Structure 1
């Protein structure tokens, strides 16, 4: 086999192992080191070590020389260097801090107060409880960025209330599943931090570029929820006075100030300090982590046990992301050294695609990868394969990254591997069927597709804020 054929076989075997359920980070490292040993192997060096051993076989010194010759392969230098590169990456430093902020906020008992307040404030709007649930999901998802936590918590809090208010089970389920995924798109998004580290695109420009598309997607969701409630009132009946009693305006304002405003201020303080250049993402994440702790204390939800849980979950998730980066860097370095990237580039160029056709092909592949894989694995392992091809089609890496972030919303909502649906089914009442949850997610998939089309037709949705804040 030629070196490029070995590289392609390496990629194929890795995909096979993924479907067999092997741990992805360690599979990447094992394959990278194993194939890399072949790629960087120098026979003369091993032969000299073997000769030294056979000249005086049996002495510890000669055995040591032989073993040293075995490990004297550049793939082990690659492993050490790539591990150090990942662990010293300043962009990735923001990940544990944002994660800690999210886990603390999740445990601060903010969401139940926020949902109740928004439900009261929006009671005269069509589909008021759905609107309240969606806005709560958007804020909570933005603050945490943890899809499973948002869907699970909102499923425990909002789904029973919506079912009690005679909402259609599929409609209510779709709102929670779709709203819970918004955190991977809307800044401060951990997905965008990981993409920035993988693509060398400025994280602040990514945050600025993702803001309007994220808000556009929230707007499309709200239009669908309100429009469906108007056109089909049976799926979202108006609440009676017994379910949501009238309340003086001053009390509603007080509830908003004490529940909605603190979390919104925390999010906008973190995001604003990044966009206006007042702090780096890492510094802003530090502010967010401290602000999350302050909120937990203010809501009397800070306990030693919750703090320990937050630290533990933060460390576990951060370690997973960092080892994925280490494995991916080793794997991609060996893949590129053997000529795999060159083969893929030549193949794509031979297809004679237009930029639009390339974007559709790339997004379709990422969409399909979203079924068996998590977003972190897609961003770290597979997106870098497309990055060198962007220059061939004159596509901005920033624009491509925002498209990918939008596309990965669908991976949580698309049957048969819609993780949001499974998160919700795990805590939903037995009367709510998985097929109903899938049916409720489908209209939101079309909203995501509309948002992607709008981005392509009107690219200034992505580029406007980065150009305003940081220039062309």
Structure 2
């Protein structure tokens, strides 16, 4: 019955039924068959525990912070200031795009928002400057996905709540891998442009800064305020001065004050931010409720043990188990959003981590790296489709797909690098908090 339950869920998913309500319906339906009225008590208790979770309180606060920053037109100022600062470097517009995406992603963590906004702002600017269409598209799509990994990532909050891992340690563990991936992207752009300068012609003098003072002023009025806000939020969390929820509340207030300072806050923008925050938070909470009820009934019916016994029976080594799980997550990323992968399918693998002696902290960062590929890999890559929706008509989806492929291989290379040198992610949490990374 557990296997039938899982197969039925996959079938309904492919038919396009809402995921959260499908999970709840199957969980309650099969639960009533297996345990009678007890399933209703389980459903109510889980709903209450999700709504009162201290960890999940930070989700709407970080989302609200991101939506406020997005609607305050800070991105336009940020991109122009970094463009001026990088004016003399090869591929300066592409580098400015990646740097802006990395910083803006830490403020929003919303892939669709970052890719869409940069597709409206940076992508046309690169095309006007004569940049190669494929390179420009790859830079926007890859840079926009960095918010999945770079703290304060909402994905890491959900993984921490699902796996029972400290969100503070996850943020510390994700810091250097996120920096590594952004640096690899920039290094690739610089090398490509040095080998073939026609891919990214130098900007004319009229579009460069007239003086160092102009660069410093642009950075001080756009880059510095947002950087201070983000570093303050992350520093308070990683330094142990505040919980993620407390830091998220301060971040939301800081974003509100920034929007006021830039004279961009209107009642309409505030209303939109509140509405989008409530909608996204409700989706996350009901996914948690549905996935827990589904997982509990699935395990009660013996489905979890079937999966565990099957995988253990394959007699895999830890590296083979990691490769298998990452391939499954990679494939799941085509039809599913990362939220569904984290709260529905990861709980199937998490109990097996102790059998293979794999640190859940290490596994979480590896998954966060992998989910980047889900947004970039054809044929159902969301980031290219976000960009296609706002790109000029002459830019085809095939050109965008071709542009993201080198960045997809960079992500896979970074995953291999992280596996070979786990200290890239685990050194900072071990150094900050001592003992094991768990």
TM-score (norm 2): 0.98
Aligned counterparts of 2:394 and 2:76: Cα–Cα separation in 1: 23
Q: For structure 2, list consecutive stretches of 5 or more residues without a partner in the other structure.
A: none
In the alignment, what sits opposite 2:24?
29
In the alignment, what sits opposite 1:364?
327
In the alignment, what sits opposite 2:51?
87
1:7 aligns with 2:2: yes
Aligned counterparts of 1:277 and 1:78: Cα–Cα separation in 2: 34
Q: Partner of 1:416: helix, strand, or coil?
A: coil
Aligned counterparts of 1:251 and 1:135: Cα–Cα separation in 2: 19
Residues 291-324 of structure 1, C-alpha deviation per residue, up to 9 Å, x if partnerless? 0001101111011100000000000000000000
In the alignment, what sits opposite 2:239?
276
Q: Partner of 2:233: helix, strand, or coil?
A: helix
Aligned counterparts of 1:266 and 1:226: Cα–Cα separation in 2: 29
Residues 197-232 of structure 1, C-alpha deviation per residue, up to 9 Å, x if partnerless? 100000001000011111010011011111111111
In the alignment, what sits opposite 1:159?
123
Q: Partner of 1:392: helix, strand, or coil?
A: coil
Q: For structure 1, list consecutive stretches of 5 or more residues without a partner in the other structure.
A: 1-5, 42-72
Computing the radius of gyration from Cα coordinates, the structure with the larger value is 1
Q: Which of residues 107, 129, 150 is equivalent to 2:93? A: 129
Q: CA deviation at 1:113?
A: 1.1
Give the number of equivalent residue pairs.
435
Residues 102-140 of structure 1, C-alpha deviation per residue, up to 9 Å, x if partnerless? 000001111111111111111110101100011001111
TM-score (norm 1): 0.91
In the alignment, what sits opposite 1:236?
200
In the alignment, what sits opposite 1:311?
274
Aligned counterparts of 1:396 and 1:339: Cα–Cα separation in 2: 25
* 8 Å Cα contact 2:87/2:209 also seen in 1: no
Q: Which of residues 356, 373, 376 is equivalent to 1:413? A: 376
* 8 Å Cα contact 2:209/2:215 also seen in 1: no
Q: CA deviation at 1:168?
A: 0.8
Q: CA deviation at 1:355?
A: 0.1
Aligned counterparts of 1:277 and 1:424: Cα–Cα separation in 2: 38
Q: Which of residues 371, 377, 382 is equivalent to 2:340? A: 377
In the alignment, what sits opposite 1:350?
313
What aligned pairs does 1:390-469 form with structure 2 within 5 A after superposition?
A: 390-469=353-432
Q: Which of residues 91, 107, 112 is equivalent to 1:143? A: 107
1:120 aligns with 2:115: no
In the alignment, what sits opposite 2:15?
20
